[in-house]
Chain A
């Protein structure tokens, strides 16, 4: 009995969770017609873009056996930086490149500090959380940074109710997810990341350049966070240094719901993306049911615990 249950969970994993959550909101007659509409899913997908792109980077970091708590601040910092550059007349693509570069730089610093000072990533990135938030406020002079219209503002739009086209941000997230999944599963770099997260000492013994790899994973993840910051800017249409507080916790939750282990060495991109979708569906559905905000928070909290419990059960771990 438990065996078959385990098999079902192993095959379906987070997918089953997503279906259950969708079913939860599709059942009540009053919300069903709208909840299951294409338009609503367009909104859900769009709302998942930022957490998803963040989850790509976070999956790399968590699989490698580390953690990054500075994501929310990085997103705010890159958003403010890009907004300032647009204000100074930069085009949309150069501003995007700059946002990715700023995020990558923060990640590089995180990685260099973790590898160079041999300190836990939890502590380094906790420090970076404060540093980036402060930098963002400093750069923005403690205000929001507004700018005249920019094409960036349309990358996350879902306003056209008749349009069936998904916003650019969704496609970018999908393309990056596929690419990252391939890199993680099929390349030497990806295998090395798994190896390091599974057993750093064994990886080092086998000649894997673990310190360089640490710097690299944080830097690549930082680029993803920078891009997430740009989409945050696109959504808000202004640079806000106080935005995305606690975003890293949502992202970590998505990765964990997706089946990754905080001990490193396991996790999948598909799982993390589904984890992000589960949380978006929960938020979206709760709103339509008219459930208050605090209720959503409680539900998401419960979902994280249940998801990790089921994952452990699936692996047959005893404790």
Chain B
């Protein structure tokens, strides 16, 4: 057995983050670690990578006791970790990044030839022999930067490689390439612990799995024998028979119409219309122009040409303020950078679009603001101390609910949702699906961008696919299959 954990416990103050977790990973095995946010995955990863030490329990690496005293000791023992966020110095070259912290040098001077050799070796074992080492890391796409990160981890020839949500910002094609890399690592005998919310991916790439729930390992086994439904049931503790609610909805008049909308460089042309009470999905690869389409509709970016009509009222240029007034609302895919003010209270985050309504003559009444915010923290089951708590202190799923509450409070009648469930746990996802279903049933219109096809197929009435900046096809959901959606997105259909 490459790595085995038995009865690992960890508490933070009164919170028992891990209650006796056992885990076994053999050589060359890809092991999926699955669980909702807050299930204890991060704590377990931190214990494995040496950032935390366990309170109790034993860990063994290749039969010897493993108890690292920090990340660098874990690395030297052969356990490397790749974090969800890219951790590169964008202004340093690829090679400098790969060797960062373990430079080849003599007397403090960098040994360029040896550096090149070692970096090339690491890249070659990933199948990227020809990766340009001299260029700056910041010039590469996220997928390529991830390759650089993995190469850095391979430098120490790890026995166990931990990958935390490695595909959360990758396109389908890049994900495939990552899976090839994982396949190579497997052949070299490296054990991989693979953490992901994408269960289909886990099923494809992993040999075995362990499901964590509330700090306990509630199930483990051979991946081939598990279905997604079974895994979800284990994660949530309840059978998610119907994750995607089919609410009764009545489609009404056309409320939003885009005609040959163009915004260079990433949005070439998009023409479509959405009706009242409709959930309209936008599929496509990352960079296909889906986000640009939403941003242009919402007036965050100016259109180069084409038009948008809201309730039949046409306008070529708009501002976010004017769109909010027309009853549109936008949920950014980038919760931390564009969605929320993390150090401001929940109540300000929810009411920012209409502060003037909470008082008279520009003065704000905190009480009425609190009352409005409290309504949503209850209705959406936002876990928080109170509405005065800074949004940044909440978990990802709860932050997303705060961001969504802003649209509900406004209230927006046409909701533009960009990746509304990215990076949040299954429980919160189910709640957000339920909210979206209810909104449509109440006669609101939802346009939703998602890279997760089952979500679009489960939720939407109509789905359009974007490819290279162009909205290439729009069809009712009943006429789509996952296979066909993917085909249009990558351009084979």
Contact = CB atoms under 8 A, between A and B. Distances in A.
Interface string A201-230: 111111111000000000000000000000
Contacts of A203: 341, 352
Interface residues of B, number: 31
Contacts, number: 76
B243 to A, nearest CB: 29
A201 B323 CA distance: 16
Contacts of B322: 207
A189 B359 CA distance: 13
Nearest to A201: B338
Contact of A188 (B298, B337, B339, B356): B356
B369 to A, nearest CB: 9
B364 A188 contact: yes
A205 B332 contact: yes
A62 to B, nearest CB: 14
Given A199-B342, A207-B323, A191 B348 contact: yes
Contact of B364 (A187, A204, A205, A265): A187
A204 B355 contact: no
A198 B343 contact: yes
Given A195-B341, A206-B324, A265-B343, A187 B348 contact: no
Contacts of A265: 341, 343-344
Interface string A241-267: 000000000000000000000000110
Nearest to B403: A202
Nearest to A263: B343
A204 B325 CA distance: 14
B355 A207 contact: no
A194 interface: yes
Contact of A208 (B330, B332, B352, B359): B352
Nearest to B324: A207
A199 B340 contact: yes
Contacts of A198: 341-344
A207 B298 CA distance: 10
B334 to A, nearest CB: 8
22 contacts: A186-B363, A188-B364, A194-B341, A195-B352, A198-B342, A199-B338, A199-B342, A202-B332, A202-B338, A202-B352, A203-B341, A205-B338, A205-B339, A206-B352, A206-B406, A207-B325, A207-B353, A208-B321, A209-B321, A265-B341, A265-B343, A265-B344
Contacts of B121: none
A315 to B, nearest CB: 9
Contacts of A133: none
A192 interface: yes
B330 to A, nearest CB: 6
A207 B320 contact: yes
A199 B344 CA distance: 9
B339 A202 contact: yes
A204 B352 CA distance: 10
Interface string B347-380: 0100011011001001110100000000000000
B232 to A, nearest CB: 32
Contacts of B353: 206-207
B112 interface: no
A198 to B, nearest CB: 4
Interface residues of A, number: 21
B92 interface: no
Interface majority SS (helix, strand, loop, mixed), chain A: helix
Contacts of A191: 348, 352, 355, 364
A200 B320 CA distance: 13
A207 B319 contact: yes
Contacts of A208: 321, 352
Nearest to A188: B355
Interface of B: 298, 300, 319-325, 330, 332, 334, 337-344, 348, 352-353, 355-356, 359, 362-364, 366, 406
B300 A204 contact: yes
A188 B362 contact: yes
**Residue from the set B330, B340, B344 with the largest chain A CB neighbour count within 10 Å:** B344
Contacts of A207: 319-325, 353
B158 to A, nearest CB: 27
Given A202-B338, A208-B352, A195 B344 contact: yes
Contacts of A188: 355-356, 359, 362-364
> Which 3 A-B pairs have CB atoms at the shortest separation, nearest pair first?
A207-B321, A198-B341, A201-B338
B319 A199 contact: no
Contacts of B338: 199, 201-202, 205
Nearest to B295: A205
Nearest to B369: A191
Interface string A170-196: 000000000000000011110110110
A199 B340 CA distance: 7
A58 B344 CA distance: 20
A258 B406 CA distance: 32
A194 B325 CA distance: 22
A187 B344 contact: no
Nearest to B351: A191
B355 A192 contact: yes
A186 B324 contact: no
A269 to B, nearest CB: 16
Contacts of B324: 206-207
